[in-house]
Amino acid sequence: MDIKSELHKTSGFGNLELLARQVVEGFISGMHKSPFHGFSAEFAEHKIYNPGESTKHIDWKLYAKTDRLYTKRYEEETNLRCHLIVDNSSSMHYPAVKEPSITELNKISFSALASAAIMNLMKKQRDAVGMSIYSDTYDFYTGEKGSDRHHHMLLDQLNGIINTTRSHKEQPKGTDTYKHLHLIAEKLKRRSLVFLFSDMLQDDVEQEQLFEALQHLKYNKHEVILFHTYSKEKEYNFDFDNSPKKFVDVESGASINLYADSIRDIYKSSVETYFKTLQIKCAQYRIKYIPAIIENGFSPILTTFLVERQKFL
């Protein structure tokens, strides 16, 4: 799947312009300041109006005082600095799909397309975006920029993580989320809007470290939004038939043979407890928690972006 082509298709999620317009019209219509008003500009100076120029920026108040026409000149500036963080561990490549598409997504392709959609909206606003990708290593980092070249480079990185083939012969990639969130927090020196796409799956002994890392991201007054990415059908509801199956941990390689019905109730109880704990911790650290359920589509992601962007400015 190529993100660049997907974003410009005329149907489904590919028609990002139509989807974004629907989200904006449904949510932003009552707001005083629309995030689609155009890029931010800071007043620089007045200059004498020359006949034939646009009258859009004439300072009519100054004209009333001086009886002369002056226009305002502006300095373009970036509205927003945003940093996208994508978990690329082996568990994010679940469920296994032969060819990711709009109608068949796993967690990593969902996260990559959602990130690309946010980037597309930011590009329209001339905002600056940076990105981090991690697994058991810190795979990629770049600071916030707003150029076309930078935008295409980020799309290439997202394409790379989608198209990586994960076969049983490959070395599984674990999730050192807490370690790499600390590293990212140290790199982000200027106040930014931070979006984290992760399934937040860690060993029990690492959960407290994970919460400490989330708290570290709040350093320097960053606004942090966690898009908790998971499959509700498989990972939350444990929706498997009751034939004997071998369940394999894609990160550790550990496996267990069982019937789904024999463990479903215990499994769901444990998952619900962990998800609830995660939400409570995020609330304590003033991190916005958003369930990014891959079966539910992209509207919750884009809506959250528009809302948080409006609040951040």
The yes-or-no verdict on residue 134 having pLDDT over 60 is: yes
pLDDT 10s digits, 204-261:
657 778 888 888 888 778 999 999 999 999 999 999 988 888 888 777 778 889 898 9
* Residue range 136-163: mean pLDDT, rounded: 88
Of 62 and 75, the structure prediction assigns the larger pLDDT to 62
Stated pTM of the model: 0.75
Position 297 scores a pLDDT of: 80
Tokens of 12: 């489904």
Residue 312 has pLDDT above 50, yes or no: yes
Instruction: Report the interhelical angle of 260-284 vs 207-217 (nearest 10°).
Output: 30
Question: Is the bond into 51 cis (omega within 30 degrees of 0)?
Answer: no
The mean pLDDT value for 111-128 works out to 84
Least Cα distance to 58 among 73, 77, 36 occurs for 73
Query: Which one of 19-28, 47-56, 70-79, 185-194 scores highest in mean pLDDT?
Result: 185-194
Determine the average pLDDT of the residues in 49-53: 80
pLDDT bracket for residue 73 (50, 70, 90): low
d(CA 16, CA 142): 25
310 CB neighbour count, 10 Å cutoff: 15
Burial status of residue 279 (CB atoms within 10 A of its CB: 0-12, 13-18, 19 or more): middle
Q: Give the mean pLDDT of 125-147.
A: 91
Mean pLDDT of 262-273: 92
What rounded mean pLDDT belongs to the chain? 78
b/e map 102-111, b = 16+ CB within 10 Å: beebbbbbbb
**Both tokens assigned to 248:** 């394999």
Per-residue CA distances from 56 to 42, 69, 73, 98, 203 (Å): 16, 12, 11, 53, 59
